[in-house]
Amino acid sequence: MASTSQPHSGFPARPYNNLRNPPSTTFGSVVGSQSQPALALRQKSQLDRDRGLPKDSQVQAQPGAPGTAPMNILSDEQREEINEAFVLFDNDKDQRIDYHEFKVALKALGFDLPKPEILSLLTTHGIPPDARPGARDHNISPGRLLLTLPSFQSIAGNLIAQRDPRDEILRAFALFDTDDKGMISLEDLRRVAHELGEGLEEDELRAMIEEFDLEGKGGVGREEFIQICMG
């Protein structure tokens, strides 16, 4: 089974893609403004360091291939995130990614799949390095197979479509509550707003906490946060 990973503090995957009622409050807007590309860029930097690639290797967005069935049921934003993740980790821009790039691209989207599952997906969807799309060579090791953009779209689209909205919300909550105290404090909100470059005054941040701190405990608890997001 795939597990949902915890992206770096301050840069969660957009947590409301599967929600019918994304938060419209000022508090929700701070959460909703956190973008996936920032996380992906950070993870790509780590991958480049591991491989000894230059830090300034350029990544240019390219239009994606025609969507498969899983992609068709996703939002425009979700499809964009999938394509961005693929392009960011396709280092040589040949529209194919290898095992390591595939694993980190999925992690950037919020999915930390175990090695056997990654290899199984490559066995099912991958192609040999010197093969044309659609070709299969059962004698090659799964770890050497590559994924094309349409295959990655299909895999990532299925994973996103099956993701539980409540799990996404709790994942976003954990990115505010980094010390696992069970609530989002004023300090947590101030930190995230600063990381996002939100020009919010102290009284605005305090008002956000007070608006949703129904129990007067000095922060927004998990269930309160879920209610904000679920509407």
Using alpha carbons, list the distances in angstroms from residue 43 to 46, 85, 105: 5, 10, 8
Number of domains in the chain: 2
Q: What angle do CA 151, 37, 154 make, to 5 degrees?
A: 15
As a whole number of angstroms, the distance between CA 88 and CA 12 comes to 17
- CB 47, CB 204: distance < 8 Å: no
Burial (CB count <10 Å: 0-12, 13-18, 19+), residue 29:
middle
pTM: predicted TM-score of the whole model, two decimal places: 0.56
Query: The CATH number of the domain where 138 resides is what?
Result: 1.10.238.10
pLDDT in tens, the chain (231 residues): 455 444 433 333 344 344 333 343 345 544 554 444 434 444 444 555 555 544 444 434 333 334 445 677 888 888 898 999 999 999 888 899 999 999 999 998 889 899 999 999 999 999 998 866 555 555 788 889 999 999 999 999 999 888 888 887 888 888 899 999 999 999 999 988 888 787 888 999 999 899 888 888 999 999 988 888 876
Rounded Cα distance between 188 and 45, Å, is 26
Is 7 a member of any domain? no
54 phi, psi to nearest 5 deg: -60, 145
Same domain (yes/no): 147, 197: no
In a domain, 39, yes or no: no
Structural domain of 111: 59-161
Gap between the Cα atoms of 81 and 87, Å rounded: 10
77 shares its domain with 170: no
The last residue of one of the domains, among 161, 178, 198, is 161
